[in-house]
Amino acid sequence: MSSKPEQHRGWYTTRRIPHFDAAHTFQFISFRLSDSLPPTVLSDMKAEADMRSTSEKSTAPRTSMEAFLDRGYGCCLLAEPEMAAQLGQAFNYYDGRRYELIAWCVMPNHVHILIKPMTSLSRIVQGWKTWSARWAYQDAQRLHLQMPPNGFWMRGYWDRYIRDEIHFHAAIAYIHQNPVKAGLCSRAQDWVWSSAKERECGLGPVNP
């Protein structure tokens, strides 16, 4: 793939999800496998959000979705150690080329990552998705992977730009504590497929 920078798009919307793509802005990004959330459950979440106040409508669906994802629905093939390791390597590979990598975590059926983009945010996410999906399909038989029935990744992604230093550190804590919250480990540092161990050793960035 070409490394030529692409113009940041500012505010835009895809599939009713707002995105903010700007230079020198830290971004908290989440994306998930295509079978990680049943359509009926998603519809119920949106219907419930419509009954909430205006201030809650933008955050309620995402909060409910993340709680459901932590239950481990679907094929959860990101729990396969080699698959998770390959995705983590992809994040680190483009560090310093397309973005500054701050923190990341690969969960069984979804991913959280915090970066400072150097190029188009949508192009960055598409690069991760394209590369990892291609790798998974090529190695599915060897690893006995149960592939999602309707494509590998769910279309689109969630992003939230970091507002201030408090938000910055809260985002890192959320990313690293997700496996603990989901009951997958007792300490964030024990989850191999995240940057928590690097931070414990003082190897990761700590300031926005």
CB-based contacts of 27, cutoff 8 Å, min separation 6: 114, 115, 116, 117, 121, 159, 160, 161, 162
Rounded CA gap, 143 and 139, in Å? Answer: 6
12-69 confidence digits (pLDDT tens)? 566 556 667 777 799 999 999 999 987 766 665 565 555 555 555 555 567 778 888 9
User: What is the sign of the dihedral through the CA atoms of 22, 28, 33 and 34?
Assistant: negative
Answer whether 146's CB lies under 8 Å from 77's CB.
yes
- What confidence score (pLDDT) does residue 16 get? 56
**Rounded Cα–Cα distance for residues 106 and 192 (Å):** 9
Task: Say if residues 29 and 157 touch (Cβ distance below 8 Å).
Answer: yes
Instruction: Spell out the domains of the chain, with CATH numbers in brackets.
Output: 23-37+76-142+150-200 (3.30.70.1290)
Q: How confident is the model at residue 4 (pLDDT cuts 50, 70, 90)?
A: very low
Q: Hey, what amino acid is at 197? A: K
Other CB atoms within 10 A of residue 40 CB: 8
Q: Nearest-CA neighbor of 113 among 24, 31, 25, 17? A: 31
Q: What is the pLDDT of residues 121-177, one digit of tens each?
A: 989 999 999 999 999 999 988 988 888 888 999 998 999 999 999 999 999 999 999
What is the model's pTM?
Answer: 0.81
